[in-house]
Structure 1
Amino acid sequence: MKNSALIKGTAAIAVGAALLLGGGGTLASWNASASATPGTIVSGDLNVAAAAGVWKDRNNATIDIASYKVVPGDKLTYTQVLSVTLTGDKMAANITTSGTGAADGFTTGNVTVTGPALTVGGVAVSNPLKTTQTVTATITFEFLSTTTGRSDVAKAYNFGNVAFNLNQITQSGLS
């Protein structure tokens, strides 16, 4: 009998300990928590919108490019007003053009295409741009006066493929 009581007592102690350790009882442990309000992350914006552009000749007269026939010595300027949106901390972007190949349909040494030259309110600015603003971009097409003979008669330069591109650049402090 003594053994039976000893076995029952030991079993009762083991069951009690198991209940305490298994969550049936309370073994005290400390814990704490705190909440934070880190805020909301909001993205910026990068956009470019173009108004109607204007072609002018060397004398600053507006021309209709659809009917104008360029001759050696002509210099034509295309002016495009661009609304540039740059919103964001450390936002910066470059305006470039695409679709202004060196000669297109003309002989390479007979034409020069340059640009874009950028101005804000008539004052020259350079890339990169860092604020929202209205920018005037100018592209120049020059049919060089050094063109000889009948070179490039009835040739065409397709500016229909020209695009103004606004490309974000990485400023210092970004990785």
Structure 2
Amino acid sequence: MKNSALIKGTAAIAVGAALLLGGGGTLASWNASDTQTPGTVVAGDLDVVADTGVWTDRNGAPVTISTYKVVPGDKLTYTQVLNVTLTGNKMAANVTATGTGAVNGFTAANVVVTDPVLTVGGTAVSNPLTTSGTVTATITFEFKSSTTGRSDVTKTYNFGNVSFALNQVTQTGLS
């Protein structure tokens, strides 16, 4: 009988513990939570829109490039107005030109085509640009006066589609 009472007592303790741990009772612990609204991340913008470009001669007189015939010593300038959008904290971009590098039929030593020179309101600026606005890009084509003999007579230099691109660059301090 003593064994029976011991077994019954142990069984009662086990059932009581099981009820406490299994949901029949509670073991309390502290909990807390809070919610914040950190805001919304919004992307900026990078865009370039080109107006109609203009060709001029060394004296600044407009030329019709489709009918103009260059001679050694000639220097033509292509001026392009670019409407640049640079929106974003720490936004920076380089302006580059494509469609200007192929020598086509001319001898490479007889021709110089410059990278774009950039101005804003008549003041020279350099890459990278960091603000939106109207930027004027100027490219020069020079048929060198040192061209001799009949070199490059009737040759063509096809600019085809000159295009300007904005290429985002990482500003100092960003990684």
2:104 is aligned to: 104
Describe how 1:123-134 pairs up with structure 2 within 5 A: 123-134=123-134
1:122 is aligned to: 122
> How far, CA to CA, are the matches of 2:139 and 2:23 in structure 1?
79
> How far, CA to CA, are the matches of 2:35 and 2:114 in structure 1?
58
1:142 is aligned to: 142
User: Cα offset for 1:102?
Assistant: 5.9
1:59 is aligned to: 59
For the 8 Å contact 1:103–1:112, the answer to whether it is kept is: no
Q: What secondary structure, in the 3-state scheme, does the structure 2 residue paired with 1:159 have?
A: coil
> How far, CA to CA, are the matches of 1:84 and 1:162 in structure 2?
17
Aligned sequence identity (%):
77
One-letter amino acid matched to 2:150: R
Matched length: 175
1:18 is aligned to: 18
- Between 76-85 and 2-11, the greater mean CA deviation after superposition: 2-11
> How far, CA to CA, are the matches of 2:101 and 2:172 in structure 1?
32
In the alignment, structure 1 segments of 5+ residues that lack a partner are none
- Between 161-170 and 129-138, the greater mean CA deviation after superposition: 161-170
Question: Cα 1:34–1:110, aligned 2, differ >3 Å: closer, same or farther?
Answer: same
> How far, CA to CA, are the matches of 1:87 and 1:116 in structure 2?
22
CA RMSD of aligned residues (A): 1.5
User: Cα offset for 1:22?
Assistant: 3.1
- Between 155-164 and 95-104, the greater mean CA deviation after superposition: 95-104
Q: After superposition, give the CA deviation of every residue in 1:119-167 in whole Å (9 maximum; x if it has no partner).
A: 1111111111110111000000011111111111111112114221111
Q: What secondary structure, in the 3-state scheme, does the structure 2 residue paired with 1:165 have?
A: strand
So what's the TM-score if we normalise by structure 2? 0.93
> How far, CA to CA, are the matches of 2:63 and 2:144 in structure 1?
19
- Between 159-168 and 6-15, the greater mean CA deviation after superposition: 6-15
> How far, CA to CA, are the matches of 2:4 and 2:173 in structure 1?
78
One-letter amino acid matched to 1:65: I
